[in-house]
Structure 1
Amino acid sequence: MPLWTKELLVLASLAALVLLWLVREAILLRRAHQAVPIRVHVNGTRGKSSVTRLIAAGLRAGGIRTTAKTTGTLPRFILPDGKEDPILRAGRANIGEQVSILRRAAEERSEALVIECMALQPFLQWVSTARIVRPTIGVITNIREDHLDVMGPDATGVAQALLSSVPPGGRLITAEPRFQPLIAEVLSDRGATGRVVRPETAEEPVTERELRRFRYIEHAENVQLALAVCEELGVPRRTALIGMQRARPDPGALTIEYVRFEGREFVFVNGFAANDPESTGQVWELALARTDSGVRRVALINCREDRADRSTQLGDAVARWTPADAYLVVGTGRSFFTHRALAAGIPEEAIISSSSHTPVELARELSALAGPHGVAVGIGNIGGIGLELIAKLREEPKGSWSSFQSRSASASL
């Protein structure tokens, strides 16, 4: 037999094996879809991990056996009893991971899977939705200017990218009030239905009292959106809400810590996960509104060289917010933030490039800048030293909120 004939036979055999493997994978995936009848796919710019957790907690409280998967700060697989397993990756994250999550949900005998979208490229968002997850309900938390290098060049581009995840023939629930003509066009094209859920227009809006029962700071929009999904799946509002209030928050959730570090008490607000300028600005103003006006205010900006567009956007945005007394810049690619902040009008003396290399050094630098009972807000990116700083501060003794209030009030007199 000629050599080229043998090579063709080998190639044909390999092709047949690959084809058989693909057929097998398709069959297993179809079985997973059949085994897990409720599949909720959560996408959006901000709040995906939180909303995923809220929906899952609400469904569990309603007696629906539910698993969930978050992709945010620390990827987690959430079991039907609320316990969590870390998701370990040998290399970079890719959407193929969603296939194994679906199979595991089926193995756990889940009636529902709530899964966070992990794709950025519009085409991959479509593949994840239409070919892998095949959700019965799609959720888009909001549409804001972030990842413009992939989904831009502006908010409309981001909207078009995120709407790639609208489930064909399914249901879309979103808290995004803008882009309604575009959303309606995509729904029509996909043969899907949808609704917009907002606290200000809801029949029974989430109240401040209900939000205060959470162990962290949760946004009314996120809770209202999650409640709407749970109600569509037959879980009463009160039952779902109690489940949400008792659930474990995401590691990147917005929290306020009253920290005592090396004898200094200050307030630290973890706003790192608010990646886009609009969300970050809301976190900054919320933090200032919850602290006394007489204390020092420090913005801690954690930069990443591979997120240069985010640093540039924040550099433009900070000039529009209530001013900080100091802008402490850490991480890589700091110049992207610094140059834009200076151009936007932030005083040069207010921008400080951190010399810290460890979370202990950064905590020391931060507490010195904030001064007694000041407030420091972490923004930009949670990865790297941001996550390490949060872990370090949570190990420290907690300051007293009543002590903070009384002393900061005295300091402002």
Structure 2
Amino acid sequence: MRELLVTGGCAAFLVLYLLVERFILAQNARSIPLRICVTGTRGKSSVTRLISASLRDAGFSVLAKTTGAKPVLILPDGSEKEIARRGTPTILEEKKIVKIGAKLGVQALVLELMSIHPESIFVESVQMLRPHVLVITNVRQDHLAQMGTSREDIARCFASSIPERCTVFIPQEECLPVFQKTAEKLGSKIIHVHSETFEEYIQSKEKFSSFEFEQNIRLALAVSNFLGVNKEVAMEGMEKALPDFGNLKVWTAEIGTPSCSWYFVSGFAANDPESTRLVLEKLREKRLFVGRKMIGLLNFRGDRGDRTLQWLEAMNEGAFSEFHRFVFVGEHAAAFKKRLKLMDKTEFYVLKKRDPGEILKQLQVIENEEAVLVGMGNMGGIGESLVDYWDNIGKRYDI
């Protein structure tokens, strides 16, 4: 009997605690007049940064958080603070961010959603954050084990983040029927952002401090314009936005003896083959590959087996055959090479070294001419170390 009473008391206390926590979260969230959430497969961090920068330049007090290559809190003055995490990240982190926003008295909160499971996305967006504005950047095949293998499955997962009476921004070409159906059922409104929207402003993107995809700029401009921000002011703010650590970057460096001119490209954060192809197309427009051998450095993560299989399928279908060489690093590298079909003009290598300097030395043995080394696959693991190393030995190349 005593044990039963203790168990019942503990259960009652837990329920009371959860109710109090939920009440506090709701109260903190309501104290922030404007809440914006950003989800999608790629570009979430960039769009979050662009929206917060445009609002900040328009005079809003804004707190933003990105969970891209590195989790970062962007304070109202534009300064950044990396979020220290212990263990596996969870959506409970959002409670702390909302609490900070309420304490600072910000007018706007711009958050990149963390979740990849449909149930978690619903809890994070609909039950915890309750955004007034939701941005869905795109729908691509990634996190297949959690979100589903088809584009429709993934769209359904993102649609679960739509709350009642919310304004949802999504590129016209990405708006699958499930988004419209879900929004109508919940009394929310979908705003399609067309690929030609704000064309006169997109032309000035060369002023940005780093490369940015046009689709991301259009989405951020559409949101800012909807919120009453002058387009010129919004663009000026976005031009000042600091890029995410995983943003597309290029460096040039003289390496080897005799020295050769190499380009290093950080395309790690593109992750999936489809997004990586878009990155390569943009670089090709800049004529970066002319007269140089192309080397792909594909970095694997042990906890992203579904992504490894995506790359295997893409390359076995002949994707990325324009590369002269591929080197594979990280977990799954040796197994990946064994299951890969041979290409007539492409050589494959597995590198076991984990030190960026040692990897570069091995690459110089493989290729002693001018080359472009493109980092792909995953930022986690050796990817982050390579980016830091390239930033130290190379000179940033303006794209």
Normalised-by-shorter TM-score class: over 0.9
Q: 1:113 Cα deviation (Å)?
A: 0.6
Q: Check whether the contact 1:259–1:267 (CA below 8 A) recurs between aligned residues.
A: yes
Separation of aligned partners in 2, 1:205 and 1:123: 40
Number of equivalent positions? 393
Q: Is the 8 A contact 1:74 1:86 kept in 2?
A: yes
- 1:74 alignment counterpart: 70
1:241 maps to: 235
Query: Would you say the 8 A contact 1:264–1:367 is kept in 2?
Result: no
Q: CA deviation at 1:20?
A: 2.6
Between stretches 25-34 and 330-339, larger displacement belongs to 330-339
Q: Does 1:126 align with 2:125?
A: no
Partner of 1:325: 324
Give the drift of 1:397.
4.5
2:372 is the alignment partner of 1:375? yes
Amino acid at match of 1:234: G
| Residue in structure 1 matching 2:355, options 353, 358, 363 | 358
2:303: which partner in 1?
306
In structure 2, the residue matched to 1:408 is none
**Partners of 1:400 and 1:278 in 2: CA distance:** 24
Aligned position for 2:395: 398
Indicate conservation of the 8 Å contact 1:285/1:321, yes or no.
Answer: no
Correspondence for 1:89: 85
Q: CA deviation at 1:199?
A: 3.0
Q: TM-score, normalised by structure 2?
A: 0.93
Give the aligned residue type for 1:255: K
| Aligned twin of 1:253 | 247
Specify the SS of the correspondent of 1:82: coil
Q: Is 1:199–1:206's contact at 8 Å kept on the other side of the alignment?
A: no
Once the two structures are superposed, the pairs formed by residues 7-406 of structure 1 within 5 Å of their partners are 7-175=3-171, 177-200=173-196, 202-208=197-203, 210-262=204-256, 263-290=259-286, 291-318=288-315, 319-321=318-320, 323-335=322-334, 337-339=336-338, 341-342=340-341, 346-347=343-344, 350-369=347-366, 371-398=368-395
RMSD over equivalenced CA pairs, Å: 2.0
CA distance in structure 2 between the partners assigned to 1:315 and 1:293 by the alignment: 27
Task: Tell me the CA shift for residue 83 of structure 1.
Answer: 0.8
Q: Provide the C-alpha distance between the structure 1 equivalents of 2:25 and 2:131, rounded to a whole number of angstroms.
A: 13
Distance across 2 between alignment mates of 1:235 and 1:229: 9
What TM-score results when the alignment is normalised by the length of structure 1? 0.90
Q: What are the Cα deviations for residues 24-48 of structure 1, in whole angstroms up to 9, with x where unaligned?
A: 2122112112211111110000011
Query: How far apart are the structure 2 equivalents of 1:300 and 1:32?
Result: 45
- Residue 275 (structure 1) shift: 1.5
Deviation for aligned residue 1:77: 0.8
Q: For 1:397 and 1:86, locate their aligned partners in 2 and report how far apart those are by CA, in whole Å.
A: 24
Report which stretch shifted further, 370-379 or 126-135.
370-379
Deviation digits for residues 247-290 of structure 1 (CA, Å, limit 9, x no counterpart): 11100000111123454431111110002221111112322342
How far the C-alpha of 1:388 sits from its partner, in A, is: 0.1
Distance 1:38 1:340 in 2: 50
- Amino acid in structure 2 at the alignment position of 1:394: D
SS at match of 1:188: helix
CA distance in 2, matches of 1:346, 1:379: 19
Displacement of 1:9 in angstroms is 2.8
Q: Is the 8 A contact 2:121 2:158 kept in 1?
A: yes
The answer on whether the counterparts of 1:297 and 1:370 sit within 8 Å (CA) in structure 2 is no
- How far does residue 347 in structure 1 lie from its aligned partner after superposition? 4.0
Percent identity at matched positions?
35
Moved more, 359-368 or 296-305: 359-368
The 1:340–1:38 alpha-carbon spacing in structure 2 relative to 1, beyond 3 Å, is farther
Q: Unmatched 5+ residue regions in structure 1?
A: 402-413
Report the CA distance shift for 1:292/1:126 in structure 2 as closer, same or farther (over 3 A): closer
For the residues of structure 1 that align with 2:280 and 2:52, how far apart are their CA atoms?
Answer: 28
- Partner of 2:68, secondary structure, is coil
Distance apart, 1:13 and its partner CA: 2.6
Equivalent position SS for 2:244: coil
Q: CA deviation at 1:87?
A: 1.1
Secondary structure at the aligned position of 1:165 is classed as: coil
Q: Shift in Å at residue 206 of structure 1?
A: 4.2
